[in-house]
Chains A and B, each alone.
Chain A
Amino acid sequence: MSATPPPATRAAAKKELPEHFRDYKHVWVFVELERGEVHPVSWELLGEGRKLADKLGVELASVILGGGDGGARAAAAESFCYGADVAYLVEHPVLEDYRNESYAKAMTQLVNTHKPEILLLGATNLGRDLAGSVATTLLTGLTADCTELAVDADGSLAATRPTFGGSLLCTIYTLNYRPQMATIRPRVMAMPERAADRVGRVVPFTPDLSEDDIITKLLRFVPDRDSNKSNLAFADVVVAGGIGLQSAENFQLVRNLASVLGAEFGCSRPLVQKGWVPSERQIGQTGKTIRPKLYIAAGISGAIQHRVGVEGADCIVAINTDKNAPIFDFAHVGIVTDAIRLLPALTEAFRQRLSPHQRDRLAG
């Protein structure tokens, strides 16, 4: 890995941390609770936060905001199972649903009272909406959409993020301000082992909020129709197709293989742009990040914006007619052949291999 020298202008040195920041301690993870559901990125961040806290020799705290109907309390208990030592439980009727004003106020008050040195949030719509407001109010640094976190020898948070669509990485520090804030992409950090018997301390916090001061009102919440919801980000097996499939009809070959494997299907961006596949199926920088055990990419060239969304897969299989396609630089298994011909055969071969009935018959 050859590093380019840092741009001279950016090589600012660490100064002595200002006096008023010295009592900022501990690692916090914001637990994203929306309509009774905790976003899995919160648990992923607790796993990562645990490592940082251990390295720094400090506590790991979860921060849960909610409306006081018990959902937040349950999430606090659950956060201990994923590694938190402490849970800040912030309950108030005004926090029932996510709204920027009320959440930003509560979060800022909590930070100013209990002073964390590191504050991590998921880089989701909610997390990014909230983090930007909180960091601006606190006038501190916020590193966006990180894919790697580490603690330096001097205890500073080193937050690494892809830039220019993943062609380069950069490591960013917030040396002289506290807390050091970062948002982290979902599905980048591994899900930690859940320890059912782990317990911790709940610290309640009552924010100074009043519904009368919050101008924005939630009129309705329209849940996505379940049938429409793709489980792409969490699937163990994903089959995807790209422009190499050549027509919307041929995309059916991808769906067929996915169906035999019990997999989710996805696609590269041009297929969404052509209207062949709905946008929630797009994989990559501006689509979903996936982390399956098996990823099969048919007729996808492997552009960097696609690569960043699939690199976490345990096994990447590429089917492409061009042996020089960039996807072969990061695939584990490759075959240079026509995907339109191979996919039906592959579907059939998997069907045979995986059906217990078929196997018994072959054995007998």
Chain B
Amino acid sequence: MKILVCIKQVPDSAQIRVHPVTNTIMRQGVPTIINPYDLFSLEEALRLRDKFGGEVTVLTMGPPMASESLRKALAIGADRAVLLTDRFFAGSDTLATTYALAQAIRKVEQTFGKQDIVFTGKQTIDGDTAQVGPGIAKRLGLLQLTYVSKLVECDPEKREVVVERRAEGGVQVLKTSMPCLITMIEGSNEVRRGAFEDSLRAARAEIVTWSAKDAEIEDLTKCGLKGSPTIVKKVFAPAPRSEKAAFVEPEKTAPDSAEALITAIFARHPSLESDLTKLASGL
């Protein structure tokens, strides 16, 4: 099987700080990681390859330094890495991103063969739109299976896939055909660490690097800012709450503190007393 996994390099959001005076994101020194949700998709792709043979290609669009994430993906076990990088892509919203990525996937298919399944992450932790997977699927005419919690069956001969998909109030069991696009949800599998040989291979591997021209992306008006219908007009910090918390002085014993706390809560929100009484008596 030939499987392609889209990954995105993102800043480790646990370490992002906002400058207290200028309200801008302080990116300097913030380490970058592979978008954590993408790893579940990568793992699922590797499992299919291990079972049926074939190869896994990872693809990212980003600045040249995004090659670090591709190398990490190789070290986890991917077979080939493609970096799509060009200043024309700067400022892309999801529509422009999916145009570029879909074109690049076409080029991958011309160069390395038809792909049976394309995986993307469920969403990223920075842009967090969850729109890129559906966008690529639509542009390439792939059947779309998002929020997959389990790949139940995959039959490369019959070209069939059966998945469990997380829906509101339950799980849909869906059957579809390849080629398709799948996004896995977190916790759907245990992501492997990667073998020692893979890390050696990753360190030496050549990363296929394409500009817009290399990937035969001809219509540059569909890329970057020009190709983005959404316009970010304003970035600002959330308004700080005007009043601070009313602090309750702890008493000597816990029961006294508890009484003081409840009194303070009801003093602040008098309607809560009757609401809570109703709720508690409804038990």
Residues of B with C-beta under 8 A to A52 = none
Residues of B within 8 A of A1 (CB): 236-237, 239
Docked pose: A333 CA to B145 CA in angstroms: 45
**Residues of A92-131 contacting chain B, CB below 8 A:** 97-101, 104, 124-126, 128-129, 131
The answer for the CA separation of A202 and B186 in the assembled complex, in Å, is 41
**Given contacts A124-B168, A131-B131, are A2 and B241 in contact (CB under 8 A)?**
no
Map CB proximity to B onto A129-147 as digits: 1 under 8 Å, 0 otherwise: 1011101110111111100
B233 touches A350 (CB 8 A): no
Q: How far is the CA of A305 from the CA of B16 in the complex (A)?
A: 12
B167: chain A residues at CB < 8 Å are 34, 98, 125-126, 221
The answer to whether B170 and A222 have CB atoms under 8 Å apart is yes
Q: How far is the CA of A305 from the CA of B275 in the complex (A)?
A: 29
Contact (A171, B233) CB under 8 Å given A294-B276, A331-B245: yes
Q: In the complex, what residues of A have CB within 8 A of residue B253's CB? A: 345
Distance between Cα atoms of A236 and B18 in the complex (Å): 33
**Does residue A328 face the partner (Cβ distance < 8 Å to B)?**
yes
Task: Give chain B residues whose Cβ lies under 8 Å from the Cβ of A263.
Answer: 279
Contact indicator B231/A12 (Cβ below 8 Å): yes
A223 pairs with B172, CB closer than 8 A: no
Q: Are B250 and A136 in contact (CB under 8 A)?
A: no
Q: A124-B168, A221-B170, A236-B275 are in contact. Are A136 and B135 (CB under 8 A)?
A: yes
Chain A interface bracket (under 10, 10 to 19, 20 to 34, 35 or more): 35 or more
Which residues of chain B are near A170, meaning CB under 8 Å? 232, 234-236
Chain B: minimal CB distance from A15 (Å): 11
Contact of A262 among B134, B231, B282 (CB under 8 A): B282
Q: Which of B177, B236, B243, B268 makes the CB contact (< 8 A) with A168? A: B236
Interface residues of A in 1-53 (CB under 8 A from B): 1-4, 6-7, 9-12, 32, 34-35, 37, 39
A215 adjacent to B143 (CB under 8 Å):
yes
Closest B residue to A259 using CB positions: B283
Q: B24 on the interface (CB 8 Å rule)?
A: yes
B241 touches A330 (CB 8 A): yes
Check A252 for interface membership: any CB of B closer than 8 A: no
Q: Are A216 and B230 in contact, CB atoms less than 8 angstroms apart?
A: no
CB <8 Å contact, B131 and A169: no
Flag if B262 contacts A353 (CB, 8 Å): yes
**Cβ of B87 to closest chain A Cβ, rounded Å:** 11
CB distance from A257 to the nearest CB of B (A): 10
Asked, given contacts A219-B162, A335-B257, A355-B280, whether A140 binds B169 with beta carbons under 8 Å apart, the answer is no
The residues of B that contact A354 with a CB separation of less than 8 Å are 276-277, 280-281
Answer whether residue A166 sits at the interface, using C-beta atoms and an 8 A cutoff.
yes
Do A345 and B255 form a contact, CB below 8 Å, given A129-B134, A333-B245, A333-B264?
A: yes
Known: A129-B147, A355-B280. A222 touches B168 (CB 8 A): no
Q: Is the CB of B261 within 8 A of A129?
A: no
- The reply on A172 being an interface residue by CB < 8 A is yes
Stretch from B68-76, B89-97, B191-199, B206-214 that touches the partner = B89-97
Give B3-29 interface residues, CB cut-off 8 Å to A.
11, 13, 16-18, 22-25
Which residues 72-107 in A have Cβ within 8 Å of B in the complex? 97-101, 104
The interface residues of chain B lying within 8 Å CB-to-CB of A184 are: none
Closest to B161 in A: A216
Report the nearest B residue to A14, measured CB to CB. Answer: B231
How far apart are B53's CB and chain A's nearest CB, in angstroms?
25
Q: A99-B174, A349-B262 given as contacts; is B236 within 8 A of A177 (CB)?
A: no
How many angstroms from the CA of A4 to the CA of B132 in the assembled complex?
A: 28
In whole Å, how far is A116's beta carbon from the nearest beta carbon of chain B?
16
Are A216 and B174 in contact (CB-based, < 8 A)? yes
Complex interface: chain B residues within 8 A of A337 (CB): 250, 254, 257
Q: Are A215 and B177 in contact (CB under 8 A)?
A: yes
Contact yes or no, A139 B258, CB < 8 A: no
**Are B261 and A335 in contact (CB-based, < 8 A)?**
yes
Q: Is the CB of B134 within 8 A of A132?
A: yes
Using A141-B95, A164-B126, A329-B240 as known contacts, say yes or no to A175 and B147 having CB atoms under 8 A apart: no
Top 9 A-B residue pairs of the complex, sorted by shortest distance between their CB atoms: A132-B134, A141-B229, A144-B129, A345-B254, A334-B245, A262-B279, A141-B230, A354-B280, A345-B258
Query: What 13 additional pairs, Cβ within 8 angstroms, besides A9-B225, A349-B255?
Result: A2-B236, A35-B170, A97-B172, A131-B131, A133-B135, A144-B130, A168-B236, A172-B232, A173-B231, A216-B145, A217-B175, A317-B265, A356-B277
Can you list 24 pairs linking A and B with CB atoms under 8 Å apart? A4-B22, A100-B146, A124-B168, A129-B134, A129-B147, A131-B134, A133-B144, A136-B139, A142-B95, A142-B230, A167-B237, A168-B237, A169-B236, A175-B231, A223-B170, A261-B279, A262-B283, A293-B275, A332-B245, A332-B268, A333-B245, A334-B245, A335-B260, A344-B254
Binding site for B on A (CB under 8 A): 1-4, 6-7, 9-12, 32, 34-35, 37, 39, 97-101, 104, 124-126, 128-129, 131-133, 135-137, 139-145, 158, 162-177, 215-224, 229, 236-237, 260-263, 279, 286, 293-294, 305, 314-315, 317-319, 323, 328-337, 341-342, 344-346, 348-350, 353-356
